[in-house]
Amino acid sequence: MSQFHTFEDLLAYCTTHGCSVAQAALQEEAAETGKSTETILAQMETVVAQMERTIQSGIGSDAPSLSGLSGGDAQRLMGYLGNTKNVLSPLSIRLLAYGVATLEENARMKTIVACPTAGGSGSVPAVLIALEHEHGLERTQTVQGLLAAGLVGEIVAKRMRLSGAAAGCQAEVGVASGMAAAGMVQALDGTPLQAITAAAISMQNLMGLVCDPVAGLVEVPCVLRNGLSAVQAVGAATMAMANIISFVPADEVVDAMAQVGKLMPSQLKETAEGGLAMTPTAQAFTDKLYPKAP
């Protein structure tokens, strides 16, 4: 049984045992599964390797999805790296491209790593793999980041449902951004408090994010949203590592998100009955994709 029901529990454990969030996650997993730490780390390396393969295949393809709503944007973003009008850093471009690439592969029905869900699967790999590619992080650091990200997701899942249908996209991309932010802090050897703070800042920034997929597909606005959420996760992690503190503690942030999810109308929770899904352009596409019977 997991011993971390709250972020307060996690911080207290890390303080008492003098360990990082990743080490706490590793110790918990070993205790729960009976697996050796070496086995767990090897499994995590396999997961990271799949994340990277998904990104690379996504960037390398301009094939459209079955619906035609997405495809090729990750490649376009990588091609923009050398554009003289580009004002973003190479890391930021990679964050955008890698998040988009992962969701484009999801829309193509390719292999992805759901973290925490398929619809929110772009943020964590985008942040961790982009840091490897741009800042030379070792794979061992990436694995540590993924361990921390996973534990953040586990703790949040005990306080709210990680589903767009249950609480809007804040429960998918929003939580993923918090996981990614904490993962970045861990990968860069930040403190447990900084990792938890990064998650809190990132999640509160996306609180209330609705789930309004055009035609009910995980493509618009999901694909681009995953790229942008990775960038903001890095911003939140940077704030935390600069020792900025979230005024509202992480546990209270999650409780607030859960409350917002309950208050959110069903039209904004994956039903495609509100938001972007109900715009004239989206409706015209939906009617074409799903012709009404005469």
Q: pLDDT per residue over 71-88, tens digit each?
A: 999 999 999 999 999 999
Beta strand extents in the chain (DSSP E only): none
Q: In sequence order, what are the residues at sequence separation of 6 or more whose Cβ sits closer than 8 angstroms to the Cβ of residue 11? A: 192, 193, 196
Q: pLDDT per residue over 104-154, tens digit each?
A: 999 999 999 999 999 999 999 999 999 999 999 999 999 999 999 999 999
Q: Are 147 and 44 in contact (CB under 8 A)?
A: yes
- pTM beyond cutoff 0.85: yes
Residue 65 tokens, joined = 């999805």
Name the one residue in this structure whose structure tokens are 């009910």. 216
Separation CA 162–CA 159 (nearest Å):
9
Residue 151 tokens, joined = 């534990």
Q: pLDDT per residue over 189-232, tens digit each?
A: 999 999 999 999 999 999 999 999 999 999 999 999 999 999 99
> H or E stretch including 223?
helix 222-241
What CATH class does 7-289 carry? mainly alpha
